[in-house]
Amino acid sequence: MRKAVAGAVLGAAAARAAYVALTRRPPREEKLWVRTNHRGEPVTLLEGPAFVVGAVTAVAVAPGVPARMRAAAILAGGATGALGGYDDLAGSGDSRGFKGHLSALARGEVTTGAVKILGIGAAGLAAAVVAGSGAPTRRGALLDVLINGALIAGTANLLNLFDLRPGRAIKAGLLASPLVFAAPSPSAPRGRFGGLLSGSAVAAAPLGAAIALLPEDLGERAMLGDAGANAFGALIGLSATGLSRRSRLGVLAGVTALNAASEVVSFTKVIRATPPLNWLDQLGRRPVVPEARPSDTS
């Protein structure tokens, strides 16, 4: 557990340092990183790049992470973060959701969202290949890679769907922490506790980075954006790939169902109408005021 704590501390320190540096000297023009939130107030998207830098840096140097899993985490977090950042800066918002982006693609229009969707799918599959599989047969290993790749990509997209209100995506990621901390790394040594602690070390870095940036998010000064939310989700998905195949299939089914539901249901409306979820959603946030009608899908 000391390795997991070290990973969390490294993630938190690196993310805070990156956020301070980026907000003092933003890449390119500062206005490129400013968006209007649900209150109509300006917030910065630089929390996202700070999260990616912090989480990936911490995974790269954290103790107790097997080499293949370390490389897979750097690939998953870095690639999905870069693709999310591309959509943050270049996306027009004209097409939304899988249906909107894929419909545009069918018409011959290549949206930034379509590039991100296809890119994250490829990044998830590549990270699953790099992480490896403990399956004893080639067929079993191939099946595990496909499941793990879908889990990484699906979770990357799912967490981004929660990044519509202050702190919501980070809270969703933190709620998943019991699952990812219980999941051993597929490439970890299978001693009595070796796999468990290796998986915890991988999960701890992004969780530490997210907690360090949570005050900025709740304070409505910054937001994860696609860059941070996609990377956070991808790393959670990767951390869960050490679960048994049956458990991974169950988690993947849930992730897929939620992604599909987002096409027809507003998560914000569901959360607002469910008292326990609404209480958690409001926890730590500024008092609610009547909101202008935003789009609740992405």
Residue 215 lies in a domain: yes
pLDDT confidence of residue 103 = 67
Number of Cβ within 10 Å of residue 144's Cβ equals 20
Closest CA to 8 of 224, 212, 218: 212
pLDDT at 99: 64
Distance (Å, whole) CA 84 – CA 157: 10
Q: Tokens 């790393």 map to which residue?
A: 235
Domain holding 14, by residue range, is 2-282
Task: For residue 182, give both structure tokens.
Answer: 């219980």
Predicted confidence at residue 114, as pLDDT, reads: 80
Q: Measuring CA to CA, which residue among 76, 174, 84 is closest to residue 125?
A: 76
Q: Which of 235, 249, 214 is nearest to 65 (CA)?
A: 235
Quick check: is 298 in a domain?
Answer: no
Domain contains 297: no
pLDDT at position 297, please? 42
pLDDT computed for residue 193 by the predictor: 34
Closest to 235 measured CA to CA, from 79, 90, 29 = 79
Considering the domain boundaries, does residue 128 fall inside one? yes
pLDDT of residue 278: 95
How many residues appear in the chain? 298
Confirm whether 288 is domain-assigned: no
242 occurs within a structural domain: yes
Residue type at 131 in one-letter notation: A
> End-to-end alpha-carbon separation of the chain, Å?
37
> Which residue from 169, 220, 214 is spatially nearest to 37, judged by alpha carbons?
220
Q: Does 100 map to a domain?
A: yes
Alpha-carbon torsion (247, 177, 296, 125), positive or negative: negative
Question: What pLDDT shows up at residue 188?
Answer: 46
Tokens 């219980």 -> residue: 182
The predicted model scores a pTM of 0.87
The one-digit pLDDT tens for each residue of the chain (298 residues) are 777 888 899 999 999 999 999 999 988 787 889 998 888 889 999 999 999 999 999 999 988 788 899 999 999 999 999 999 999 998 766 556 666 666 666 676 677 878 898 999 999 999 999 998 767 677 788 999 999 999 999 999 999 999 999 999 999 999 987 666 655 544 444 433 334 444 566 788 999 999 999 999 999 999 999 999 999 999 999 988 888 889 899 999 999 999 999 989 999 999 999 999 999 999 999 886 654 444 444 3
Domain count, the chain: 1
What is the pLDDT, as a whole number, of residue 212? 97
- What are the CA-CA distances from residue 250 to residues 134, 151, 217, 245 (Å)? 19, 10, 31, 9
| pLDDT for 185 | 47
Q: Residue 187's pLDDT is what?
A: 46
Domain membership flag for residue 84: yes
